[in-house]
Protein backbone atom coordinates (compact mmCIF):
# COMPACT_ATOMS: atom_id res chain seq x y z
CA UNK A 1 0.00 0.00 0.00
CA UNK A 2 2.77 2.40 0.86
CA UNK A 3 4.62 1.49 -2.30
CA UNK A 4 1.52 2.30 -4.36
CA UNK A 5 1.13 5.66 -2.65
CA UNK A 6 4.79 6.46 -3.16
CA UNK A 7 4.50 5.49 -6.79
CA UNK A 8 1.50 7.83 -7.20
CA UNK A 9 3.35 10.72 -5.59
CA UNK A 10 6.30 10.23 -7.92
CA UNK A 11 4.00 10.25 -10.97
CA UNK A 12 2.30 13.44 -9.75
CA UNK A 13 5.65 15.15 -9.30
CA UNK A 14 6.77 14.07 -12.75
CA UNK A 15 3.61 15.49 -14.33
CA UNK A 16 4.11 18.80 -12.54
CA UNK A 17 7.73 18.96 -13.65
CA UNK A 18 6.74 18.20 -17.25
CA UNK A 19 4.08 20.91 -17.20
CA UNK A 20 6.60 23.37 -15.81
CA UNK A 21 9.08 22.46 -18.55
CA UNK A 22 6.41 22.99 -21.21
CA UNK A 23 5.53 26.43 -19.85
CA UNK A 24 9.21 27.37 -19.73
CA UNK A 25 9.69 26.19 -23.33
CA UNK A 26 6.62 28.11 -24.54
CA UNK A 27 7.80 31.24 -22.76
CA UNK A 28 11.22 30.97 -24.39
CA UNK A 29 9.61 30.53 -27.83
CA UNK A 30 7.43 33.63 -27.33
CA UNK A 31 10.45 35.67 -26.25
CA UNK A 32 12.38 34.43 -29.28
CA UNK A 33 9.58 35.41 -31.67
CA UNK A 34 9.28 38.85 -30.07
CA UNK A 35 13.03 39.39 -30.41
CA UNK A 36 12.95 38.41 -34.11
CA UNK A 37 9.99 40.73 -34.78
CA UNK A 38 11.73 43.63 -33.04
CA UNK A 39 14.88 42.91 -35.05
CA UNK A 40 12.94 42.90 -38.34
CA UNK A 41 11.15 46.11 -37.40
CA UNK A 42 14.46 47.76 -36.56
CA UNK A 43 15.93 46.63 -39.88
CA UNK A 44 13.00 48.04 -41.87
CA UNK A 45 13.18 51.35 -40.02
CA UNK A 46 16.86 51.67 -40.87
CA UNK A 47 16.40 50.93 -44.58
CA UNK A 48 17.92 53.32 -47.18
CA UNK A 49 14.44 54.52 -48.14
CA UNK A 50 13.73 55.55 -44.56
CA UNK A 51 17.14 57.20 -44.29
CA UNK A 52 16.40 59.27 -47.37
CA UNK A 53 13.13 60.44 -45.85
CA UNK A 54 14.83 61.46 -42.62
CA UNK A 55 17.78 63.05 -44.42
CA UNK A 56 16.52 64.42 -47.78
CA UNK A 57 19.01 64.77 -50.57
CA UNK A 58 19.97 68.25 -51.86
CA UNK A 59 18.47 67.33 -55.24
CA UNK A 60 15.06 66.91 -53.58
CA UNK A 61 14.91 70.68 -53.12
CA UNK A 62 16.03 71.31 -56.71
CA UNK A 63 13.57 68.80 -58.19
CA UNK A 64 10.39 68.91 -56.09
CA UNK A 65 7.68 66.33 -56.72
CA UNK A 66 9.89 64.42 -59.15
CA UNK A 67 8.24 61.65 -61.16
CA UNK A 68 9.60 58.14 -60.68
CA UNK A 69 9.66 56.61 -64.19
CA UNK A 70 9.96 53.10 -62.74
CA UNK A 71 7.16 53.41 -60.21
CA UNK A 72 3.52 52.70 -60.75
CA UNK A 73 1.52 55.77 -61.67
CA UNK A 74 -1.78 56.20 -59.88
CA UNK A 75 -3.41 57.65 -62.99
CA UNK A 76 -2.84 58.05 -66.69
CA UNK A 77 -0.35 60.76 -67.72
CA UNK A 78 -1.73 64.16 -68.68
CA UNK A 79 -1.90 65.31 -72.29
CA UNK A 80 1.19 67.47 -71.85
CA UNK A 81 3.15 64.65 -70.20
CA UNK A 82 2.19 62.28 -73.01
CA UNK A 83 3.23 64.78 -75.69
CA UNK A 84 6.53 65.48 -73.93
CA UNK A 85 7.29 61.77 -73.51
CA UNK A 86 6.71 61.17 -77.24
CA UNK A 87 9.05 64.02 -78.22
CA UNK A 88 6.26 66.41 -79.17
CA UNK A 89 7.99 69.29 -77.35
CA UNK A 90 11.16 70.16 -79.34
CA UNK A 91 13.29 70.78 -76.28
CA UNK A 92 14.76 68.82 -73.41
CA UNK A 93 15.66 69.61 -69.85
CA UNK A 94 19.36 69.93 -69.07
CA UNK A 95 20.06 69.41 -65.38
CA UNK A 96 22.60 71.74 -63.84
CA UNK A 97 24.27 71.73 -60.45
CA UNK A 98 22.73 75.09 -59.59
CA UNK A 99 19.79 75.52 -61.97
CA UNK A 100 18.25 73.84 -64.99
CA UNK A 101 17.95 75.04 -68.56
CA UNK A 102 16.29 73.98 -71.81
CA UNK A 103 18.08 72.67 -74.85
CA UNK A 104 16.09 73.25 -78.02
CA UNK A 105 16.36 70.87 -80.97
CA UNK A 106 16.46 73.89 -83.27
CA UNK A 107 16.51 77.67 -82.69
CA UNK A 108 13.18 78.68 -81.07
CA UNK A 109 12.70 81.50 -83.57
CA UNK A 110 12.38 78.88 -86.31
CA UNK A 111 9.58 77.03 -84.54
CA UNK A 112 5.87 77.57 -85.33
CA UNK A 113 3.89 78.89 -82.36
CA UNK A 114 0.83 76.90 -83.37
CA UNK A 115 0.32 74.63 -81.51
CA UNK A 116 3.57 74.71 -79.52
CA UNK A 117 2.82 77.87 -77.50
CA UNK A 118 -0.66 76.58 -76.60
CA UNK A 119 0.75 73.18 -75.59
CA UNK A 120 3.29 74.84 -73.32
CA UNK A 121 0.52 76.98 -71.80
CA UNK A 122 -1.46 73.81 -71.07
CA UNK A 123 1.60 72.41 -69.34
CA UNK A 124 1.52 75.25 -66.82
CA UNK A 125 -1.10 73.24 -64.93
CA UNK A 126 1.31 70.37 -64.37
CA UNK A 127 2.42 69.73 -60.79
CA UNK A 128 5.36 67.37 -61.31
CA UNK A 129 8.94 67.79 -62.44
CA UNK A 130 10.16 68.03 -65.20
CA UNK A 131 6.87 69.13 -66.77
CA UNK A 132 6.52 72.16 -64.52
CA UNK A 133 9.91 73.55 -65.54
CA UNK A 134 9.66 72.66 -69.23
CA UNK A 135 6.27 74.32 -69.67
CA UNK A 136 7.15 77.44 -67.69
CA UNK A 137 10.58 78.02 -69.22
CA UNK A 138 9.53 76.94 -72.70
CA UNK A 139 6.62 79.40 -72.73
CA UNK A 140 8.89 82.22 -71.56
CA UNK A 141 11.70 81.52 -74.03
CA UNK A 142 9.34 81.14 -76.97
CA UNK A 143 7.88 84.59 -76.34
CA UNK A 144 11.38 86.11 -76.36
CA UNK A 145 12.16 85.23 -79.98
CA UNK A 146 12.08 87.76 -82.79
CA UNK A 147 8.67 87.93 -84.43
CA UNK A 148 6.85 86.64 -81.34
CA UNK A 149 4.23 89.40 -81.63
CA UNK A 150 3.08 88.36 -85.09
CA UNK A 151 3.01 84.68 -84.10
CA UNK A 152 1.27 85.08 -80.72
CA UNK A 153 -1.55 87.52 -81.51
CA UNK A 154 -3.52 85.11 -83.78
CA UNK A 155 -3.41 82.52 -80.96
CA UNK A 156 -4.92 84.76 -78.26
CA UNK A 157 -8.48 83.39 -78.57
CA UNK A 158 -7.11 79.90 -77.83
CA UNK A 159 -4.44 80.96 -75.33
CA UNK A 160 -6.65 82.93 -72.97
CA UNK A 161 -8.92 80.01 -71.92
CA UNK A 162 -5.84 77.89 -71.23
CA UNK A 163 -4.23 80.59 -69.09
CA UNK A 164 -7.51 81.12 -67.26
CA UNK A 165 -7.55 77.43 -66.34
CA UNK A 166 -4.17 77.91 -64.68
CA UNK A 167 -5.33 81.05 -62.87
CA UNK A 168 -8.30 79.27 -61.27
CA UNK A 169 -6.29 76.17 -60.33
CA UNK A 170 -6.31 75.11 -56.66
CA UNK A 171 -2.51 74.74 -56.57
CA UNK A 172 -0.80 78.02 -55.65
CA UNK A 173 2.28 77.22 -57.73
CA UNK A 174 0.13 76.59 -60.80
CA UNK A 175 -1.62 79.92 -60.23
CA UNK A 176 1.75 81.70 -59.97
CA UNK A 177 2.97 80.14 -63.22
CA UNK A 178 -0.24 81.12 -64.99
CA UNK A 179 0.00 84.69 -63.74
CA UNK A 180 3.65 85.01 -64.78
CA UNK A 181 2.82 83.63 -68.22
CA UNK A 182 -0.01 86.15 -68.61
CA UNK A 183 2.36 89.00 -67.73
CA UNK A 184 4.93 87.73 -70.23
CA UNK A 185 2.26 87.47 -72.90
CA UNK A 186 0.98 90.97 -72.23
CA UNK A 187 4.48 92.40 -72.63
CA UNK A 188 4.71 90.82 -76.09
CA UNK A 189 1.24 91.44 -77.51
CA UNK A 190 0.51 94.73 -75.73
CA UNK A 191 -2.95 96.28 -76.39
CA UNK A 192 -3.97 93.25 -78.43
CA UNK A 193 -4.68 91.54 -75.13
CA UNK A 194 -7.28 94.10 -74.00
CA UNK A 195 -10.18 92.58 -75.92
CA UNK A 196 -9.56 89.25 -74.20
CA UNK A 197 -9.13 90.39 -70.60
CA UNK A 198 -12.84 90.09 -69.84
CA UNK A 199 -12.57 86.36 -70.45
CA UNK A 200 -10.01 86.07 -67.67
CA UNK A 201 -12.42 87.34 -65.03
CA UNK A 202 -14.34 84.59 -63.26
CA UNK A 203 -18.08 85.02 -62.82
CA UNK A 204 -18.79 87.47 -60.01
CA UNK A 205 -15.32 89.03 -60.02
CA UNK A 206 -16.61 92.41 -61.21
CA UNK A 207 -19.26 92.48 -58.47
CA UNK A 208 -16.64 91.76 -55.79
CA UNK A 209 -14.29 94.42 -57.16
CA UNK A 210 -17.07 97.01 -57.33
CA UNK A 211 -18.04 96.25 -53.72
CA UNK A 212 -14.49 97.04 -52.63
CA UNK A 213 -13.83 99.90 -55.07
CA UNK A 214 -17.13 101.60 -56.05
CA UNK A 215 -15.43 103.86 -58.59
CA UNK A 216 -13.88 100.91 -60.48
CA UNK A 217 -14.85 100.55 -64.11
CA UNK A 218 -13.45 97.75 -66.28
CA UNK A 219 -11.93 98.88 -69.57
CA UNK A 220 -13.31 95.69 -71.06
CA UNK A 221 -16.97 96.55 -70.41
Give the per-residue pLDDT at 70.
47
Kind of pairing, strands 101-104 and 91-94? antiparallel
94 in Cβ contact with 101 (< 8 Å): yes
Give the per-residue pLDDT at 96.
76
Give the per-residue pLDDT at 162.
94
Give the per-residue pLDDT at 100.
83
Whole-model pTM: value is: 0.61
- From residue 148, give the alpha-carbon distance in Å to each of 110, 125, 170, 196: 11, 23, 30, 18
Per-residue pLDDT of the chain (221 residues; tens, 9 = 90+): 444 444 454 454 555 445 545 554 555 555 555 555 555 555 445 455 554 555 555 555 545 555 554 444 456 668 898 998 898 999 988 887 778 889 999 999 999 999 999 999 999 999 998 899 999 999 999 999 999 999 999 999 999 999 999 988 899 999 999 999 999 999 999 999 988 888 887 656 666 666 666 776 655 54
Cα–Cα dist 163/154, whole Å: 15
Amino acid sequence: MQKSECHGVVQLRNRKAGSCDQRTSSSMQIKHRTTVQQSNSSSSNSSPETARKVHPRPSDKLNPKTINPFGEQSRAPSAFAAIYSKGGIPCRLVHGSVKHKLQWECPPENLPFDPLLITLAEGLRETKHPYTFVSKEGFRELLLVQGALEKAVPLLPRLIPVLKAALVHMDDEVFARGLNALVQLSVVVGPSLNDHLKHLLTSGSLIIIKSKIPTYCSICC
